[in-house]
């Protein structure tokens, strides 16, 4: 058995207030990890800044690594846990910004970054889309990263799966009132790839958009290991066995029975 204890945390970021948001994240890490051993902890998308920052993202974005990553790296090292979270990243060319997911390892080192590929609405005005999928080998298994609306595209999770992913960490800003859509996508990505999904969605309101939380941990047959239905800050924890991924893939032949030669249309632009 490869048992892994996963936590998903949901919070209300204060718009444009990075120090305050980092402080709250640090408090949540302490709260979650002080009383139990957590192997992987997932926070929402753009959790250090909030969502509707517009042109302010230019000032709020940071290098990776940088102050926010360093702060959370210390927390990861203190509790020997992986931490995944979303932030606005400034590239080497300062005018280029990315909506980024960061994974920090238990020693406090940067394990991986992922730049959101599927940008929605006004995100396209602030960020440049990424073009690479990210799967990282960890001490527990292969972890993939996605951000928010990436979840709506089955190709994204399938590409990660074909690279060996066993656990998908989703950092999200999924907006109200689309909770049914959120739950359907989480279950579908888990079912169709026989993977675990750990998804953290934010709460609260920015200027025009509100968010509903409902962070979840889903198993490879759609089992709900943990669900945070209350609209409140907090976390949910579940212990999972990553060996179930191999078990169900062998039983279902979900990857072995693919017919890629019949899928040419899937890579054509609409």
**For residue 196, what is the domain's CATH number?**
3.60.110.10
CA-wise closest residue to 74 among 115, 112, 5, 25: 25
> What is the greatest pairwise CA distance in the chain?
51
Compute how many other C-beta atoms are within 10 angstroms of the C-beta atom of residue 165. 26
pLDDT at position 89, please?
98
Measured between alpha carbons, how far is 185 from 189 in angstroms, rounded to an integer?
Answer: 6
Do 172 and 185 touch, CB atoms closer than 8 A?
no
- Cα atoms found within 13 Å of the Cα of residue 264, Cβ hemisphere only: 2
- For 119, phi then psi, to 5°, come to -85, 140
Do 108 and 79 touch, CB atoms closer than 8 A?
no
Q: How far is CA 204 from CA 49, 186, 232, 233, in A?
A: 13, 21, 9, 9
**DSSP type of residue 267:** G
Structure tokens belonging to residue 220: 């490879």
First to last CA, the chain: 43
- Residue-range definition of the domain harbouring residue 138: 3-267
Measured between alpha carbons, how far is 88 from 80 in angstroms, rounded to an integer?
Answer: 25
Measured between alpha carbons, how far is 188 from 203 in angstroms, rounded to an integer?
Answer: 23
CA-wise closest residue to 130 among 85, 172, 90, 100: 100
What tens-digit pLDDT sequence spans the chain (270 residues)?
A: 899 999 999 999 999 999 999 999 999 999 999 989 999 999 999 999 999 999 999 999 999 999 999 999 999 999 999 999 999 999 987 789 999 999 999 999 999 999 999 999 999 999 999 999 999 999 999 999 999 999 999 999 999 999 999 999 999 999 999 999 999 999 999 999 999 999 999 999 999 999 999 999 999 999 999 999 888 999 999 999 999 999 999 999 999 999 999 998 988 887
Do 244 and 2 touch, CB atoms closer than 8 A?
no
Total domains in the chain come to 1
């Amino acid at each position: 058995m490869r048992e892994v204890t996963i936590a998903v945390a949901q919070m209300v970021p204060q718009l444009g207030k990075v120090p305050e948001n980092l402080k709250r994240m640090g408090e949540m890490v302490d709260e979650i990890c002080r009383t139990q051993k957590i192997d992987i902890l997932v926070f929402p998308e753009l959790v250090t800044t909030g969502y509707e920052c517009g042109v302010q993202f230019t000032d709020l974005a940071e290098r990776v690594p940088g102050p926010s990553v360093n702060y959370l790296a210390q927390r990861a090292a203190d509790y020997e846990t992986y931490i995944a979270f979303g932030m606005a990243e400034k590239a080497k060319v300062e005018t280029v910004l990315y909506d980024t997911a960061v994974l920090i390892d238990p020693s406090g080192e940067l394990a991986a970054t992922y730049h959101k590929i599927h940008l929605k609405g006004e995100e396209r005005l602030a960020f440049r889309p990424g073009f690479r999928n990210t799967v990282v080998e960890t001490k527990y298994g292969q972890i993939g990263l996605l951000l928010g609306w990436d979840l709506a595209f089955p190709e994204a999770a399938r590409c990660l799966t074909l690279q060996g992913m066993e656990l998908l960490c989703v950092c999200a800003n999924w907006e109200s009132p689309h909770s049914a859509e959120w739950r359907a996508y989480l279950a579908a990505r888990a079912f169709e790839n026989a993977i675990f999904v750990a998804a953290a969605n934010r709460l609260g309101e920015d200027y025009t958009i509100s968010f509903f939380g409902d962070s979840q941990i889903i198993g490879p047959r759609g089992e709900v290991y943990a669900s945070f239905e209350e609209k409140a800050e907090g976390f949910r924890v579940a212990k999972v066995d990553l060996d179930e991924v191999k078990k169900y893939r062998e039983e279902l032949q979900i990857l072995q029975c693919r017919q890629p030669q019949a899928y040419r249309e899937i890579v054509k632009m609409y």
